[in-house]
Amino acid sequence: MRYNRLGNSGLRVSALGLGTNSFGTRADKAESKRILDLALDRGINFIDTANIYSSTASETIIGAALSGRRSEFVLATKAGLSRGEGPNSRGSSRFHIQQELEGSLKRLKTDYVDLYQIHTFDPDTPLEETLRALEDFVRAGKVRYIGASNYAAWELMKALGISDRLDLNRYVSTQTSYSLADRTPERELVPLCLDQGVGIIPYFPLAGGILTGKYGIDGTAPEGSRALTNPNFTRFFGEHNLALGRSVAALAQQLDCTASVLSLAWLMQQPAVATTIVGATSAEQLESNMQSVAVELSADTLAELDQLSRPFRNGEPFALYRLT
């Protein structure tokens, strides 16, 4: 396994991280534990979850499965998206994130979180309030590092500026949708992160499965895929997305690897990317995707992938989670 610094921090994270939003839904408790055990045994130390994944079941499963192995991994969770209908059940106010952090710690059966991330920008809460609350969490020993997620470049830069002005801990990372099917972060976010020393943690690195080549020419989905368990996902099945998936799969076949491995390997070689979180519904799926860590793409292959995916630098992000 390769390990990278998370932004300018001293924390080193595995080049491939494990996303766990399927735990408790598409992966039951037993299979989730198999996936976690395999990840740790193969050197994956970055485990990413959130308070809303599978209605808190993801955190609960992780807490039970990793009992006694806490020191072996970097645990990241998030708060900020809606957890209910109450007036303070979402956002990044001190009230909400302190309440959610305590809940996450209990479910995860730990005294601290290595990386606590604000799940999305909250336009109704002053950034100073959020950042001072996060500073208090760090000083209390309940959080080691802080990160952002789904922030626009200007929002992230504003947060970094406030932290510098008030001498507060800075965001060391930001999560964003980033893949061959979504290169929009390259317009503003990537240059900002390179300049400011913020690590990028891509989510949806396989565009929800489109870059695996598993969807048919008409969007036909195989058994157990995200499109069947979440029919709303088919909104991403535009012909341009499916065509890209087929092109990547064809190139992967020439290189004697899977489309998933090729897509992940490309992302790992992009500037500012610290760890790429990939989900899994089975240990076998994770085992297959781990081959991407050992793949070094040639200049010619990188150029071809750049050409195939260049149109995806423009337009709207593949996915973006905001408060509405």
Give the confidence band of 233 by pLDDT, cuts at 50, 70, 90.
low
Confidence of residue 238 (pLDDT cuts 50, 70, 90): confident
Distance CA 153, CA 188 (A): 6
In a domain, 215, yes or no: no
- Confidence label for 280 from pLDDT (cuts 50, 70 and 90): very high
- Residue 214 confidence (pLDDT): 72
The answer to whether residue 64 sits within a structural domain is yes
For the cut 80, the answer to whether the pLDDT of residue 219 exceeds it is no
Q: Which of 278, 311, 244, 212 is nearest to 44 (CA)?
A: 278
Does residue 294 lie in a domain region?
A: no
Q: The domain that contains 157 carries what CATH number?
A: 3.20.20.100
Domain that includes residue 121, residue range: 3-207+267-281
Inter-residue contact 130 to 82 (CB < 8 Å): no
pLDDT digits (tens, 9 = 90+) for 121-175: 999 999 999 999 999 999 999 999 999 999 999 999 999 999 999 999 999 999 9
Q: Would you say residue 230 lies in a domain?
A: no
Total domain count, the chain = 1
Q: Is 112 a catalytic residue?
A: no
Label residues 237-259 b or e (16+ Cβ within 10 Å = b). beeebbebbebbbebbeeeebbb
Contact in structure between 44 and 16 (CB atoms under 8 Å):
yes
CA-to-CA distance for 34 and 128, rounded, in angstroms?
A: 41
- Whether 203 is in a domain gets the answer yes
Question: Is residue 92 in a domain?
Answer: yes
What's the number of CA atoms in the CB half-sphere (13 Å) around residue 119? Answer: 24
For range 95-122, the mean pLDDT: 98
Of 72, 50, 74, the C-alpha closest to 61 is 50
Nearest-angstrom CA–CA distance, 260 and 258: 5
Residue 290 belongs to some domain of the structure = no
Residue 18 bridge partners (DSSP): 47, 278
Per-residue pLDDT averaged across 186-198, rounded?
A: 98
Total length of the chain: 324
- The Cα 219–Cα 195 span in angstroms is 39
Instruction: Write down the catalytic residue from 3, 53, 116, 321.
Output: 53
Residue 320 has pLDDT above 70, yes or no: yes
134 occurs within a structural domain:
yes
pLDDT > 70: percent of the chain: 93
